[in-house]
């Protein structure tokens, strides 16, 4: 019987020389990039283009005058941009049918670190089960936590652990986990006791990313990010076009 492998990386830098080609990559930046992107795609945005710098976003904006500009620096909306990095800013009435040029540092770097993978998915707690269902038949999965400014953040590790736990519970084949996957699963299983959106949000508020969001006065974003399975949608990044679309509307 074939083995299913899951390798978790608690930071993009820990990917090192690992060869991702042939595997499915999952990018996690719970607070808030991947949560917000999932909201945008669930709310019928045409696509989200993840960009590293403000200049790149502005350059693309000049070429695409009907696109919306979104993202953050220091957690705040960027001067002249249409939207910040809060999932609440991305309802269907705003983003439906739109292309969104989106710049955040940690999340975009994590996506770039995955660009050699065969498939790249975007995950939050808001689409945990949908992502796991998408991964059910993938023999080798790489889960990459974005972290914050090069530091491991607990909220990303908890979601990585939730994915490992979910896939391990459902697996019919033997599982092979790297140590980071085992650690993430341990951390998640400890959090899973008496799990509700409230207890999960409380844990996220203690993390480095959570404390940052609280400092910005955006506590509601954490409650949104902790809402398990709000959407049945899996955003998928095409490494050739560098566009994120609903995986049901993307080429496989």
- Minimal distance in Å, beta carbon 202 to its own copies? 13
Helices (H), the chain: 33-42, 54-63, 92-95, 105-113, 128-135, 154-170, 179-192, 197-206, 208-215, 219-225
- Cβ neighbour number for residue 196 with a 10 Å cutoff: 10
Is 186 or 246 the residue whose CB approaches its own copies more closely? 186
Is residue 10 at the binding interface for its own copies, with CB under 8 A as the rule? Answer: yes
- Minimal distance in Å, beta carbon 201 to its own copies? 15
Contact present, 222 and 31 (Cβ < 8 Å) = yes
Binding mask 131-160 for its own copies (x = CB under 8 A): -------------------xxxxx--x---
Q: Which of 242, 231, 19 is nearest to 111 (CA)?
A: 242
Judged by CB under 8 A, the chain residues 190 through 219 that form the site for its own copies are 190-191, 206-208
- Minimal distance in Å, beta carbon 152 to its own copies? 5
**How many chain residues are in contact with its own copies, going by CB under 8 A?**
24
Is 63 or 215 the residue whose CB approaches its own copies more closely? 215
DSSP state of 103: E
Is residue 14 at the binding interface for its own copies, with CB under 8 A as the rule? Answer: yes
Binding mask 60-99 for its own copies (x = CB under 8 A): ----------------------------------------
- Minimal distance in Å, beta carbon 206 to its own copies? 7
Is residue 183 at the binding interface for its own copies, with CB under 8 A as the rule? Answer: yes
Cβ-proximal residues to 76 (8 Å cutoff; 6+ apart), any chain? 84, 216
> Is 176 strand, coil or helix?
strand
DSSP string, 192-231: HTT--HHHHHHHHHHSHHHHHHHHTT-HHHHHHHT-TT--
- Minimal distance in Å, beta carbon 157 to its own copies? 5
Q: Which of 153, 166, 219, 220 is nearest to 192 (CA)?
A: 166
Interacting residues with its own copies (CB under 8 A): 10, 14, 16, 150-154, 157, 178-180, 182-184, 186-191, 206-208
């Amino acid at each position: 019987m074939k083995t299913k492998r899951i390798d978790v990386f608690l930071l993009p830098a820990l990917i090192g020389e690992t060869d991702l080609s042939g595997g499915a990559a999952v990018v996690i930046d719970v607070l808030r990039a991947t949560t917000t992107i999932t909201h945008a795609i669930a709310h019928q945005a045409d696509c989200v283009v993840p960009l590293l710098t403000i200049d790149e976003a502005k350059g693309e904006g000049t070429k695409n005058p009907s696109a919306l500009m979104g993202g953050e620096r220091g957690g705040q909306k960027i001067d002249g941009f249409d939207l910040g990095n809060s999932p609440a800013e991305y309802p269907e009435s705003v983003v439906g049918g739109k292309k969104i040029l989106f710049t955040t540092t940690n999340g975009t770097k994590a996506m770039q670190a995955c660009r050699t993978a065969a498939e790249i998915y975007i995950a939050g707690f808001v689409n945990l089960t949908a992502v796991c269902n998408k991964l059910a038949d993938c023999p080798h999965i790489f889960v990459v936590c974005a972290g914050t400014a090069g530091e491991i953040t607990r909220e990303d590790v908890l979601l990585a652990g939730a994915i490992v736990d979910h896939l391990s519970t459902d697996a019919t084949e033997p599982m092979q986990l790297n140590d980071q996957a085992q650690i993430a699963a341990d951390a998640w299983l400890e959090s899973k006791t008496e799990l509700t959106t409230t207890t999960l949000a409380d844990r996220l508020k203690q993390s480095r990313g959570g404390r940052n969001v609280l400092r910005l006065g955006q506590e509601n974003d954490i409650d949104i990010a902790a809402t398990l399975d709000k959407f049945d949608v899996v955003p998928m990044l095409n490494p050739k076009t560098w566009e994120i679309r609903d995986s049901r509307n993307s080429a496989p």
